[in-house]
Structure 1
Amino acid sequence: MFIPSLDLSDSSQNSLHTAIGYIGTALLSNATVEDIKALIHQTGSTGYWAPANNFEEAIQLWDAGIYKVVFPASIYSDLKDELKDIPEDRIALSASTDASFSPDVLFDTSAVVITMDTACQQLLEQKAFLDSAREWMKTLLPQGGSRRVVIDLKHNTSLDTIRSLQKAGLDTLVKASQLTSTLEPTNNQINIGEAFMANATTDRSDGLFATLVVDELNNALGLVYSSVHSVSESIRTGQGVFQSRARGLWYKGATSGATQTLKHVDYDCDGDALRFIVEQHGAGFCHLNTRTCFGSDTGLTGLQKTLQDRKVNAPQGSYTSRLFNDPQLLRSKIMEEAEELCDATDKDEIAWEAADLIYFALTKCVGAGVTLADIEKNLDKKARKITRRAGNAKPKWSAPAPAPAPAQAAPVPPPKTDGRIQMEKYSLDSISKEKQAELLLRPIIDSTEITNRVTPIMKDVRERGDKALIDLTKKFDRVELTTPTVKAPFPPELMQLDPKTKAAIDQAYANIYKFHDAQMDRETLVVETMPGVVCSRFARPIERVGLYVPGGTAVLPSTTLMLGIPAKVAGCSEIVIATPPRPDGSVVPEVMYVAHKVGATHIVLAGGAQAVAAMAYGTETVPKVDKICGPGNQYVTAAKMLAQNDTSCLVSIDMPAGPSEVLVIADKNCNPAYVAADLLSQAEHGADSQVVLLAVDLSDDELTAIENQVHDQAMQLPRVDIIRQSIPKSYSLRVKTLEQATEFSNNYAPEHLILHIDNARDLVQHITNAGSVFVGAYSPESMGDYASGTNHTLPTYGYSRMYSGVNTLTFVKHITSQELTADGLDKLGDSVMQLAAIEGLDAHRNAVAIRVADIRK
């Protein structure tokens, strides 16, 4: 068959991604891991190949979803030991013309891509080469399947070349720049459908090909016929298009509405039968209005169809309808059936209990818009990964008979790609006091497992310093460093920004600096508590501070501003910034620029617990700090807590942290679009973000208007997959009065509180617990996150009851002093001596007594 060679850095080839995805296999070039993930997400194909020059790079590609990694034959012998546990069908080689087919070169691999300068006809005349290739391809893979030889002729090819090489048993690599989905190609281009069908064979006189049409679960829908024209049209349109022997080209469902979305097309091992994998719409494939030509669905697909029908048209009193409308009942049944399955012993009982569990689990999936096809896609993605977790049970489940544990948040489902994006809905009048209390809680985090993972990382960095930091960065970030630290002054070429970005950062810097400079405690407090007794209090900067700036799913120069500016204002003499490196080992230029502006002395090229450990204990190149500030995931938080509790390193932290959160109070006069935008701005942070809407006396239509805006706006956002996970776990709560909303908000103690109400400023005086308040319709959270001047590093998880957000005073400590005159000591001395005597601290009493005796002589 032919294999497209797709250059992901060439934007002119973007229009071909979907069409090439239908045939599945393609050799990618100039592709980053993120590019590959995006392509797989777009096309659904997991059959791509990609080149790698070392084992670490290959691991990243396999884990990203690449099927075959192609290594240069010249280095493969050096990698053989590292690859010994990798299945052969995941490994391919690339070689030049002079490669032989001896075991010493090819080893145990599944394919080889050979680049040749010769023309096709010259290649076909090389009998020794062809005999060696065929001999090698005869040996089947241990897992089943044949080995493949792919020829890259360097120059433009043709359909005749593809056919000729196929007759010799060889595959052809074709540059995507030469391909098109247009039915009438020009300028030496080749239609993708025609190239695909160049390898198919048929013994029919009419030239048609038998075609099995299946759904995404590989269930047969029916048997049809295809032609080269119909296949090309199907790839061009992305629909099920076939060849009717009576009516010509047949666009499935054009008249009945039972259309098909094309997912994949391939042929069998002999190339004489096609398979179309489609998503079937409408009543079904068959003209008898059944989903298949072989009758109705049964088994899991039949159960899924029943549940999907029940979700839309549930009969009165239906138990399935009750499950859809009562998440707590459904959760309880899943837990109950899982336990019964674990306790089952004989074959029939296990099958019975497994069927029950699958019913309830699939009900949850259908309720959330997740299909069996979505589940299978996730299984396929996981099967592509090479890196494996240890697979140990969480401590909660590892004991033989665990005691009842506090309720935890339900496991996060895989990201959905369809269905309405909607929050849970409650009304304060219709829920119990217990439910109200439950809504105030955040998901319970069992930190035992995380702490167990973080502790050895901290110990490793403490004992091995920079070497541990470099090794851990290679392991977790897949980046090889020669040194883990960049020291000021920072090279100007590493912080080059476009003028617009630089101006935005400079504007934000000015506002944040102005607000935090105003917070600085520069005056010494002096109080004469009684004649001759003067007490004072004055501020001094914490000398050495470490600032953690996350990487992960977003670039965060804003966090660098929010942490670095107050440290600079406070006068900290040493500012160390830790942030994960980019794949090339560099720092994000925006972060580097801000680090320069705030006067940072060091940048640590590391993330996670290892970065915290480096700042807490110090290494050969990372200075030990006195305080660590900044947000991060659960591993970062656990590392900060462990460091604070380790008296040997003497370091403090800003505050505990949990997932980001927002609470919005909205009344009848709010703008639904603004409210939805504020909810989504927080929901896109992560799958565990907490989003709450308090709807004050809103009608059904008014609340629906906000819900519609949430869905519509979310669908336009690049991070919609994250929002699909966070919004369904969030909720709206209808309340009658503003007083009820205020009471609930103060009890919830949100990180961000946004007031979409009339006279919003008047409510601020009644707010007792919140990290930061955004007052009125024109004060979106984004302004505080970036540039209004307030700090965005705020207490989460309800900690705003007792913690402030990061501010200038976070980076200073206060020292008190007292000065007494002889007269003051004389007047106060008797009280102090009496109190010391009561406590039995005679040395304390004596320190006063000997002075008072001299004064009173």
Structure 2
Amino acid sequence: MSSFLPLISGADAELSGALSRIGPVLLSSQPSDFLPDHAYLLLESSKEPVDLGALVHLLDSGIEKLILPLSSAKGVIGSIPPERLVLLLDVASASAVSDKVRSSVSGVLLRTPTLDLDFISSISQFFTKSSIYVLSTSNEVPTASNIRQLRGIGATLVVPEAQLTLEASSPKQINIADAYLAPIVSDRPDGLFPTIVATETGHSLGLVYSSNESVKESILTGKGVYQSRKHGLWRKGETSGATQDVVSIRADCDSDSLEFRVVQHGAGFCHLNRESCFAEASGLPALERVLASRLESAPEGSYTRRLFNDADLLRSKIMEEADELCRAETKEDVAFEAADLFYFALTKCTAAGVSIADIERSLDNKAKRISRRPGNAKPQWEQKKESAPAPAPAPPAQKPKVDGPIRMNTYDLVQSSTEERAQLLRRPVLKSDEMIEKVKPIVDEVRKRGDAALIDFTAKFDRAKLSSTVIFPPFAQESMQLPDNIHDAIDVAYSNIHKFHDAQNNDTPLVVETMPGVVCSRFARPIARVGLYVPGGTAILPSTALMLGIPAQVAGCKEIVLATPPRPDGSISPEVMYVAHLVGASAILKAGGAQAVAAMAYGTETVPKVDKIFGPGNQWVTAAKMLVQNDTDALVSIDMPAGPSEVLVIADHTANPAFVAADLLSQAEHGVDSQVVLVAVHLKADHLAAIEQEVEKQALALERVDIIRQSIPKSNIVKVATVEEAIAFSNDYAPEHLILHLEQAKEQVERIENAGSVFVGPYTPESCGDYASGTNHTLPTNGYARQFSGVNTNSFQKHITSQEITAAGLGKLGPVVATLADCEGLGAHANAVRIRLQELQN
């Protein structure tokens, strides 16, 4: 925590520069040119509705935290991570904050007319997990004592720029160094602060001492100035020329020692002309120094000089070493090849004037981004396995653009060859074998280390620090607090889905007398322990919890373990919590990805092991499900293979262009790898153009338009002449969702052979099946509708057969069985029958 938080406009460059060395700064207006590494932004406007896109852009651009009033914060909760959000409160509104809001921010900026320590302390106790910042609305200039007192109760004073100065403190202004040093107290008799001096990347250069006077000078001048215990102020490099530019000054957790991060010039920090007093630099810092030296002095003709001078050679070496790293398999080989790649990559950086510190800053800035790219490889790097035959080239697709028209690709089935038709039926290639190799280390870690691995992976992937991984019922009421409209909507959806799935539950055993005295039967039993995976990712999915939990509940499963990724504060969304309560979940696992699948498959200290795992997920989840189902030690099955979401729409002249476009977009927004197909039955050019115009018009109005810009150009319009051709193409494609915008839609259903779920007529949007009509939305994708059904009540049951044979029945059946057993050479089988027949004859 910084000593104080300066509130600045950035107009005074000298003051802003000095402040940026000692901690974060709070900007009072949106930045133009000046943006320090750790900048908070105060946005007091309560404009409605909140422009979420603009706020995300600010965070992506490098703003560390946004400070918003309560009315604005409510509109972005759940969309912006809590650690990036601070709540602006006046004294009068502090009591109006709900538990949901409180748990969705990481700090509170309290605006108060007086520095009432008791009141501020009570606020900090209410916001127990948040940083407290205090801004006085009075014109009274804060003192060092005010800063110390607030730090004593865990709060940070916000000081406006007008009250700060680089000059000596006065009744009207406080010197920034005095403000910074106010809470820092030495525990040494001489009052000096032990000070670690380090490079920008945190590599130690030496241990020195600082005084109030030396720290002040360093803050104000930006130069390394320390306190010699023998000679007084020590301005580093004043005589040797090995000067330092101060990047940052930080106090330790006890506020009794300091760390200076500096850019060291000259021979080095140590008086022995070494970079560090502890030893010569090693690893990447040493390589960086060597390359910088060789850039200046490497002789002509030397290898390093050739690399600096020949861009094509350097590029070839980087690509060569990257390829060798990708092929390396053992730990030693990976380390060896990675070292080579680092060498050539850092050579490229040195030639361009890029330092390791620049790279780390870029990494830090990328980590701050809220919006994420899909992370797909560019086409030229998507290499197929060498052992696999090369597939036929896919239909040409437009390259996704950041702007410009949003268009699907159009093909005429009448004019397409057999090979071209086959290509139109293909989905994007799923490299399941490669993904399984990637998830295997995660699965193995959870299998070996249990809860400890789950906690580590949740911190790494979901950025949530947990002390426990499972919630058991009864679930706390406050965890299920929902607005009335959402609560009621979930209840209606639950009722419809339960009614439909309950009708599938046939408790009556099947009994058949196959011949006199031989009675065979079949009866259903629930799978005892099931795991339900509910994705988190870019959306909250209580609908998936309903679709998986209700049939498990109806089937009578004894244990229902629901797994879902936690939010950054470690909680589960109240929508999912409420559904878990409705379906009678026996445990909620706060984990996502491959680690959640592994925990349910093998069990941990707290996570119950399950017998079957259900639910959609990203490629990591899918690969982990495929991996564990093939492990005999896990003894677990899965619902079905899964892939990206998809829809096929068949439309004729009666189709409403707006309806068709809306149906296509409802699946295209799921992800960049989603695929939508429009089969146009003898549509005129103007009708087809109207649909395409609606796709673009509606897409541009959607929040997830960036995803749609990438999925729609990968999707197809297939023109056919007749409904018969359309349905034949659909049956071959076997879509997850099939929507019929046809004149006699209901009459065509009997001709559908392969589909996950069918949506009949213009007023049956796929969204209804996704949420509340009653059917299940967990459906086979990637063409697996040819072999698999969607999730249903039977999915959560297994069927057991039995037979009962009377003595008379065995007398007739026994000779048949004995004959067949003899035919197969299985004498014991035949004997089991004959020994009974002999007994009957005696």
Aligned partner of 1:713 in structure 2 is 698
| Among 19, 30, 42, the residue aligned to 1:20 | 30
1:384 aligns with 2:365: yes
CA spacing shift, 1:491–1:43, aligned 2, 3 Å: closer
* Contact 2:454–2:595, Cα closer than 8 Å, also in 1: yes
Q: Please tell me whether residue 490 in structure 1 is matched to residue 475 in structure 2.
A: yes
The superposition leaves residues 264-302 of structure 1 with CA deviations (integer Å, 9 ceiling, x where unpaired) of: xxxxxxxxxxxxxxxxxxxxxxxxxxxxxxxxxxxxxxx
Deviation of 1:18 after TM superposition, in Å, equals 13
Q: Name the structure 2 match of 1:317.
A: none
Q: Which residue of 2 aligns with 1:509?
A: 494
1:633 corresponds to 2:633: no
- Three-state SS of the structure 1 residue aligned to 2:10 is strand
- 1:3 aligns to 2:10 (yes or no): yes
Matches within 5 A, 1:357-376: none
Cα shift readout 1:96-125 (whole Å, capped 9, x = no counterpart): 352789882886569xxxxxxxxxxxxxxx
Question: What residue in structure 2 maps to residue 741 of structure 1?
Answer: 726
Equivalent residue, structure 2, for 1:161: none
Matched, 1:703 2:688: yes
- 1:48-102 deviations in Å (ceiling 9; x for gaps): 34599xxxx99998xxxxxxxx999999xxxxxxxxxxxxxxxxx9973527898
Structure 1 gap ranges (5+): 6-15, 62-69, 76-92, 111-125, 151-345, 355-377
- Match of 2:222, SS state, is helix
Match of 2:552 among 567, 575, 586: 567
Q: Secondary structure at the match of 2:781?
A: coil
Secondary structure, counterpart of 1:733 in structure 2 = strand
| 1:462 Cα deviation from its structure 2 partner | 0.9
Deviation at 1:413, TM superposition (A): 11
Alignment of 1:259-274 (within 5 A): none
Distance 1:71 1:4 in 2: 26
Distance 1:382 1:417, change over 3 A: farther
Structure 2 counterpart of 1:28, which letter? Answer: Y
> Using a 3 Å threshold, how does the CA distance of structure 1 residues 625 and 4 change in structure 2: closer, same or farther?
farther
Whether the aligned pair in 1 keeps the contact of 2:566 and 2:572 (CA below 8 Å) is: yes
Instruction: Indicate yes or no: 2:663 matched with 1:686.
Output: no
Aligned partner letter, 1:46? S
SS at match of 1:624: coil
**CA displacement at 1:387 relative to structure 2:** 10
Q: SS where residue 20 of structure 1 aligns?
A: coil
Partner residue in 1 for 2:775: 790
Change (3 A) 1:682 1:394: closer
**Contact 1:99 1:105 (C-alpha < 8 Å) held by counterparts:** no
- For 2:10, the aligned partner's letter is I
Partner of 2:746: 761
1:28, CA displacement in angstroms? 1.9
Change (3 A) 1:577 1:128: closer
Q: CA RMSD for the aligned pairs? A: 4.7
How many residue pairs are counted as aligned between the two chains? Answer: 585
1:459-513 Cα deviation digits (max 9, x unpaired): 1111111111111111111111000000111111100111110000000000000
Match of 1:46 in 2: 61
Note the C-alpha offset of 1:414.
10
Instruction: Confirm whether residue 662 of structure 1 aligns to residue 616 of structure 2.
Output: no
Alpha-carbon distance in 1 for matches of 2:398, 2:195:
46
2:195 maps to 1:104: yes
1:404-439 CA-to-partner distances (Å, cap 9, x unmatched) read 643688999997442111111111122222111011
Gaps spanning 5+ residues in structure 2: where? 1-7, 13-25, 44-49, 68-79, 85-130, 134-146, 152-176, 185-191, 202-211, 226-235, 238-242, 250-308, 318-358
Distance across 2 between alignment mates of 1:719 and 1:741: 30
Contact 2:9 2:28 in 1 (8 A): no
**Which residue of the partner structure matches residue 835 of structure 1?**
820
In the aligned structure 2, how far is the partner of 1:617 from the partner of 1:502?
34
Report SS of the residue matched to 2:635.
coil
Q: Deviations over 1:292-349 (max 9, x none)?
A: xxxxxxxxxxxxxxxxxxxxxxxxxxxxxxxxxxxxxxxxxxxxxxxxxxxxxx9698
- 1:691 is displaced (CA, Å) by 0.4
SS in 1 for 2:496: helix
For residues 579 and 693 of structure 2, the distance between their equivalents in structure 1, rounded to whole angstroms, comes to 39
Which residue pairs with 2:503 in the alignment?
518
Measured in 2, the distance between the counterparts of 1:746 and 1:380 equals 53
Show the counterpart of 1:604. 589
Does the Cα contact within 8 Å between 2:29 and 2:41 map onto a contact in 1? no
- Deviation of 1:2 (Å): 3.5
| 8 Å Cα contact 1:616/1:651 also seen in 2 | yes
One-letter code of the match for 2:659? Answer: Y
Match of 1:589 in 2: 574
Tell me, yes or no, if the aligned pair for 1:51 and 1:71 is still in contact at 8 Å: no
Contact 1:753 1:771 in 2 (8 A): yes
Give the structure 1 partner of residue 432 of structure 2.
447
Secondary structure (helix, strand or coil) at the match of 1:456 reads helix
The code of the aligned residue for 1:96 comes to Y
Which residue of structure 1 aligns with residue 219 of structure 2? 133
Distance in 1, Cα, partners of 2:641 & 2:740:
26
Question: What displacement does 1:629 show?
Answer: 0.4
2:397/2:714 contact within 8 Å kept: no
Residues 58 and 823 of structure 1, relative CA distance in 2, 3 Å threshold: closer
TM-score, normalising length: structure 2: 0.62
- Asked if 1:576 is matched to 2:588, the reply is no
The farther-off stretch of 744-753 and 130-139 is 130-139
- 1:548 maps to 2:508: no
Counterpart of 2:407? 422
Q: CA deviation at 1:734?
A: 0.7
User: What is the Cα deviation at residue 580 of structure 1?
Assistant: 0.2
Contact 1:413/1:725 (8 A) holds in 2: no
Distance 1:565 1:696 in 2: 38
Letter of the 1:523 counterpart: T
Letter in 2 for 1:823: A
Instruction: Give percent identity, aligned residues only.
Output: 55
- Residue 651 (1) aligns with residue 651 (2): no
Check whether the contact 1:630–1:654 (CA below 8 A) recurs between aligned residues: yes
Q: Return the letter of the residue paired with 1:725.
A: Q
SS of residue in 2 equivalent to 1:104: strand
User: Amino acid of the residue matched to residue 728 of structure 2?
Assistant: E
Alignment of 1:153-302 (within 5 A): none
Give the corresponding residue for 1:539. 524
Between the aligned partners of 2:472 and 2:404, the Cα distance in structure 1 is 49
The equivalent residue for 1:816 is 801
The structure-2 alpha-carbon separation of the partners of 1:45 and 1:470, relative to structure 1 and needing over 3 Å to count, comes to closer
CA separation in 2, counterparts of 1:133 and 1:453? 48
User: Which residue is 2:257 aligned to?
Assistant: none
Matched-pair contact (CA < 8 Å) for 1:59–1:387: no
Deviations 1:609-641 (A, max 9, x none): 000000000011111000000000111011111
Match of 1:844 in 2: 829
| Structure 2 residue matching 1:564: 3-state secondary structure | helix
| Residue identity matched to 1:48 | I
CA distance in 1, matches of 2:580, 2:60: 41
Partner of 1:274: none
CA distance in 1, matches of 2:652, 2:361: 46
